[in-house]
Homo-oligomer: A and B are copies of this chain.
Amino acid sequence: MKTVYITRRETFNAAHKLWNDNWSQEKNEEVFGRCSNANWHGHNFTLFVTVKGTPHPDTGFVINLKDLSVIIQKEVTEKLDHKNLNLDVPFLKGVLASTENVITAIWDRLIEPVRSHGGELVKLKLVETENNYVEYFGENEPF
């Protein structure tokens, strides 16, 4: 039985700022620089979702990409696209909206729905700009 990893890309465009409520404006500016701008800024975010599994003999699929796409849209991108990550997203309430914190919150949204479709979520990659991205593997070994 061969194990293959399949990845689906989805995108969302959102506003956010980096801001710690326990800090003064000066401290926020010192640490977060331009990212702390009071009136927000934004990005075209790109999310890569990787699922591990064995191709099914009937379909050749680890998971049907149409299903995976629907899961990601329903659980994640519909809720983040054209939103403010600090204000508009229930599952990010109280979270400092760094890409690191956003990716772990997205993981928690996806792991069960992917499992219930017979797949195993093993990797997320969230690209914020052409110059930076984060990856998260849950409790799996990174790869």
Contact = CB atoms under 8 A, between A and B. Distances in A.
Interface in A35-87: 35, 37, 39-44, 50, 52, 55, 58-62, 64-66, 81-84, 87
A8 interface: yes
A83 B41 CA distance: 5
Q: How many A residues touch the partner, as a band? A: 35 or more
Main secondary structure of the interface of A (DSSP, over half): mixed
A26 interface: no
Most buried by B among A23, A44, A59, A96: A44
B59 A41 contact: no
A6 B62 CA distance: 27
Contacts of A110: none
Interface of A: 2-11, 13-16, 18, 20, 22-23, 31-35, 37, 39-44, 50, 52, 55, 58-62, 64-66, 81-84, 87-88, 95-101, 103-104, 122, 129-137, 141-143
Given A4-B104, A6-B133, A55-B98, 5 more contacts: A3-B136, A4-B100, A39-B83, A39-B84, A141-B142
